[in-house]
């Protein structure tokens, strides 16, 4: 965090300062990161005691103090051993402090902010961009894990210091206005929209609401900013009409400024030709061959978005390609290749799932399997689809059959309709099996997998199949 006195923090979050018995005063300087989980506290940090649905952060103040917290942000006075700032709402205060810290960082340094949103691919793209900028020597802060909401976003922003040159922030939402709130805290110079799909459509209330929500990323960008938009997504294309920023298109469309052609995917990753329009007067084009080691053709879009951002930071096309080709793993649980014993390959892609990413993963499974070998899709439910849930699970079941997946293993009652749809397609005789839980599915797979099989494990995080994928990977390591 940008160093601030207790008085400055209290003013920023509209709180009442209560000095502690540790000798702190209004002029005491705080520069540590902020946490909402007492187990994560380190010496000198700030603990925000949030009240949640499951528990109350105020109950964990003693643990935070014992772990070295220097300041408490609370909604009631709880412990006078260290300084407290009492506020109306700790979550609102967290956002307010992040806003002030980012404002000071931008005013006093060379901080540039990248905001990334989309129905799919945020975390993968964020990781690619952060690795690219760090490799190029930029002092970079990026969202940890998938910290992209009203809590995770500010916690990431509060890791920015006076030396930070790049903040790469995922900005997600479960309702309209949430992305706008995050962009107000940390106004991007580069705003990225990857896709508009059915992920979280149930929470948003429909695809049009999803569109409006995702477009908040670019609506308020100034004309000095850049909107990096997916030319292959018709809904994202419409966002060009809603922004004053300069638009940089990425995708496989011929009009894209950063585009991929000659895309070929196999079990080792994806090969494509990267072409970028560079310069302004006159514009020139340069092309390079890329061997991107992340499995799945659908991740090419994430690589292109990352390339556009890297070029926007002044990297050469060769620097961009070198970074993409050095990628080890886009993110745990995302098309993560495991196993290997007896030629059995396990693709663990169960960190999250939407209809688009589920469809893309199944296509990848069908594409990368060895000739003549079996393909096994272990699928769980796709969450947060609302009224679309039934028809989308039906569609995935039908797709698995039509792609000639050798065996479909469906796990969990919430995904049962997928299993029934596959059976009703009429093409199979027992190739689709259903299990109520992951343990039963694991036992079945251990008994039935054959040498040379390629296994995809895919579901939303709530279905809990990522651990199943990890177990299979260990079993066949």
**Peptide bond preceding 93: is omega within 30 degrees of 0, i.e. cis?**
no
* Partners of residue 228 on adjacent β-strands: 192, 248
Does 122 carry a binding-site annotation? yes
Collapse the DSSP code of 408 into the 3-class scheme (helix H, G, I; strand E, B; otherwise coil) and give the result: strand
Alpha helices in 86-177 (DSSP H): 90-108, 122-135, 152-157
- DSSP states of 362-403: HHHHHHHSPTT--EEEEE-PPPS-GGGHHHHHHHHHHHHHHT
Q: Take residue 215 and report the two structure tokens written for it.
A: 């477009």
* Residue partners of 278: CB distance under 8 A and separation at least 6: 284, 285, 286, 311, 317
Does 177 carry a binding-site annotation? no
28 close to 143: Cβ distance less than 8 angstroms? no
122-135 and 317-325 helices, crossing angle to 10°? 120
57 burial type by CB count under 10 A (0-12 exposed, 13-18 middle, 19+ buried): buried
Give the Cα separation of 343 and 373 in Å (integer). 10
DSSP annotation of 314 reads T
Does 120 carry a binding-site annotation? yes
* Biggest CA-to-CA distance, the chain: 75
Does 458 carry a binding-site annotation? no
Does 124 carry a binding-site annotation? yes
* Partners of residue 102 on adjacent β-strands: none
Give the Cβ contact number of residue 199 at 10 Å: 26
Q: Which amino acids are annotated as binding site, given as ranges?
A: 118-124
Q: Which amino acids are annotated as binding site for ATP, given as ranges?
A: 118-124
């Amino acid at each position: 965090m940008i160093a601030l006195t207790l008085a400055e923090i209290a003013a920023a979050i509209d709180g009442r300062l209560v000095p502690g018995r540790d000798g702190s005063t209004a002029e005491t300087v705080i520069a540590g990161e902020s946490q909402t989980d007492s187990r994560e506290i380190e010496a000198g940090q700030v603990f925000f005691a949030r009240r949640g649905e499951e528990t109350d952060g105020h109950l964990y103040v003693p643990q935070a103090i014992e772990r070295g917290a220097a300041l408490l942000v609370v909604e009631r006075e709880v412990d006078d051993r260290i300084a407290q700032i009492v506020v109306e709402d700790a979550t609102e205060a967290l956002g307010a402090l992040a806003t002030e810290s980012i404002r000071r960082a931008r005013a006093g340094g060379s901080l540039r902010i990248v905001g990334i949103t989309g129905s799919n691919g945020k975390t993968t793209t964020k990781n690619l961009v952060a690795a690219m900028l760090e490799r190029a020597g930029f002092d970079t802060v990026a969202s940890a894990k998938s910290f992209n909401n009203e809590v995770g976003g500010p916690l990431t922003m509060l890791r920015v210091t006076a030396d930070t040159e790049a903040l790469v922030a995922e900005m997600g939402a479960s309702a309209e206005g949430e992305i706008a709130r995050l962009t107000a805290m940390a106004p991007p110079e580069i705003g990225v929209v990857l896709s508009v799909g059915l992920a979280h459509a149930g929470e948003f209330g429909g695809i049009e609401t999803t569109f409006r929500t995702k477009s908040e990323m670019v609506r308020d960008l100034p004309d000095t900013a850049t909107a990096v938009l997916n030319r292959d997504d018709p809904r994202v294309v419409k966002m060009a009409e809603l922004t004053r920023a300069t638009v940089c298109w990425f995708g496989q469309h011929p009009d894209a400024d950063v585009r991929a052609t000659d895309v070929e995917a196999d079990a080792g990753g994806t090969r494509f030709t990267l072409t970028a329009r560079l310069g302004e007067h006159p514009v020139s084009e340069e092309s390079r061959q890329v061997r991107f080691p992340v499995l799945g053709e659908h991740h090419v879009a994430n690589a292109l978005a990352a390339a556009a951002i890297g070029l926007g930071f002044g990297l050469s096309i060769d620097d961009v390609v070198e970074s993409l080709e050095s990628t080890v793993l886009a993110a745990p649980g995302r098309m993560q290749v495991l196993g290997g014993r007896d030629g059995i390959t396990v693709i663990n892609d169960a960190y999250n799932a939407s209809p688009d990413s589920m469809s893309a993963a199944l296509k990848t499974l069908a594409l990368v399997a060895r000739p003549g070998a079996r393909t096994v899709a272990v699928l769980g439910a796709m969450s947060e689809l609302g009224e679309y849930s039934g028809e989308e699970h039906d569609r995935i079941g039908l797709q698995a059959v039509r792609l000639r997946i050798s065996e479909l293993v469906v796990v969990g009652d919430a995904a049962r309709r997928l299993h029934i749809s596959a059976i009703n397609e009429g093409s199979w005789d027992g190739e689709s099996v259903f299990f109520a839980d992951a343990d039963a599915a694991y036992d079945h797979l251990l008994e039935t997998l054959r040498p040379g099989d390629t296994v995809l494990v895919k579901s939303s995080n709530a279905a809990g199949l990522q651990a199943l994928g990890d177990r299979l990977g260990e079993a066949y390591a």
